Amino acid sequence: MTLAKPEQTEYNAFYAGYIAQVPEGDVTAHLKEQLQKTAGLVAGLTEEQALHRYAEDKWSIKEVLGHIADTERVMSYRLLRVARGDTTPLPGFDQDLFIRGTAFDEWPLQRLADELAVVRQATLSLFAGLSPADWLREGSASGYPITARALAYIIAGHELHHLRIIQERYI
């Protein structure tokens, strides 16, 4: 499925950096490839490395991985609502509250890897059932217009953003 990158009017400017990181082309193929890269990164870590924080007030690698999965779930839910034509304004979410509400550091690293894979498979399954018109539907999230297509790119770009941070600051 080759979706053109969304126009700037299709999303909150906050997400522009995420969307810009996603290469042109088939976003589904990119998400599948990304899953393999993330799995490879996780497979190369020890439990001790995955608990590393590059600063005292920063999340551990495990928490970053859990955050990626949580955010993909939220964005996929938004995408589902928008793609189905639901124009009910969707609220934002507090990523720090989500992290405080979990114990990702206590999860075995393999469980986090499995979680990411399951979430990604659910996202890809959702994408497979959408028509070209579904991708262009618009809704509202966090008080801003958003399209299903923009949400797909945000999912991909969000993970790229955090993988880059892991590689630059943690490993």
The whole-number pLDDT of residue 1 equals: 62
Residue 37 three-state SS: helix
Can you give the pLDDT of all 171 residues of the chain as single tens digits? 689 999 999 999 999 999 999 998 899 999 999 999 999 999 999 999 999 999 999 999 999 999 999 999 999 999 999 999 999 999 999 999 999 999 999 999 999 999 999 999 999 999 999 999 999 999 999 999 999 999 999 999 999 999 999 999 998
Q: What confidence score (pLDDT) does residue 95 get?
A: 96
Q: What angle do CA 126, 131, 135 make, to 5 degrees?
A: 75
Distance CA 64, CA 18 (A): 16
CA distance 3 to 89: 24
